[in-house]
Amino acid sequence: MERIEHRACFGGWQDVYRHRSHALDCEMRLAVYLPPQASERPVPALYWLSGLTCTEQNFINKAGAQRYAAEHGLALVVCDTSPRGEGVADAAAYDLGMGAGFYVNATVSPWSRHYRMYDYVVHELPELVEKHCPLTDARAISGHSMGGHGALTIALKNPGRYGSVSAFSPIVAPSRVPWGEQAFSAYLGGDRETWRSYDATELVKTANEKLPLLIDQGDADEFLHSQLHPEWLQQAADAAGHPLELRMRPGYDHSYYFVASFIGEHVAYHAAALRR
């Protein structure tokens, strides 16, 4: 990893790196916040997945999470939302192509060459940062919107890999909403049965590990009734006996103002889970 940003922050360091990704076959950027405790010992990490159009910069600049990570001795690992660069397939729409990887392994050309964000997040990213940074192998995962979808599905598909999971405004049923239908049709093809393996409402029905799910959702979110439908995941979790805490937040929308308002609670939640 080549460090390209290094800034003091709440007694620790907010760094940004670039590296060549084998999973994505392109150069990627990622951000790592190391709390002050990391100067004395390896620390656990919270992996953050951002939403549509975002890069590694949005969360580290807007969420204000570093303050809470420093208090709890938790590192923050933030990746980009898709492969990027010359030769990487793209689309004119903001919700497909670069900035919209949806944390799946694409199987349809031309996307299948680079769009393997699932493998990148689950395997390559932790191997890379745990090798180069003072991190333990204790991991939590969270995200916003498309990243909330990624966090939930990745945690449900990988029992034992994460000590906790949470999400802000997640796309819980991408197989049934416009954002997901467009992306899955392009990346995975027309067979809807294959989409189920990246849909949290489907995965929760048969999850072997009952890892509790924590979700914050604003009731003034402009995408609540068209793209998000958290009640569908609540219904599926209740039927499967899977623990889920869905907190509807009055007046909050889909923005980072919402994320910043409650990120401290999420960091504390993950820190407590990783200590256990």
pLDDT tens, position by position, 198-221: 999 999 999 999 999 999 999 999
Q: Which two tokens stand for residue 178?
A: 């416009």
84 vs 25: CA distance, rounded Å: 10
Q: Which of 15, 80, 216, 221 is catalytic?
A: 221
Q: Which two tokens stand for residue 185?
A: 């049709």
Q: Which two tokens stand for residue 229?
A: 């439908």
Mean pLDDT for the stretch of residues 252-261:
98
Can the peptide bond before residue 178 be classed as cis, meaning omega within 30 degrees of 0? no
Q: Which of 21, 142, 145, 169 is catalytic?
A: 145
Is 254 noted as a catalytic residue in this protein?
Answer: yes
In which band, very low, low, confident or very high, does the pLDDT at 163 lie, cut at 50, 70 and 90? very high
pLDDT reported for residue 276: 85
204 vs 200: CA distance, rounded Å: 6
Q: Where does residue 25 fall: left (phi above 0), alpha (psi -120 to 50 degrees), or beta otherwise?
A: left
Taking only the tens place, the pLDDT of each residue in 66-99 is 999 999 999 999 999 999 999 999 999 999 999 9
Q: Which of 114, 254, 266, 270 is catalytic?
A: 254
CA 250 to chain centroid: 24
Is 191 noted as a catalytic residue in this protein?
Answer: no
Q: Do residues 269 and 164 lie in contact, with contact meaning Cβ atoms separated by under 8 Å?
A: yes
Q: pTM of this prediction?
A: 0.97
Is 166 noted as a catalytic residue in this protein?
Answer: no
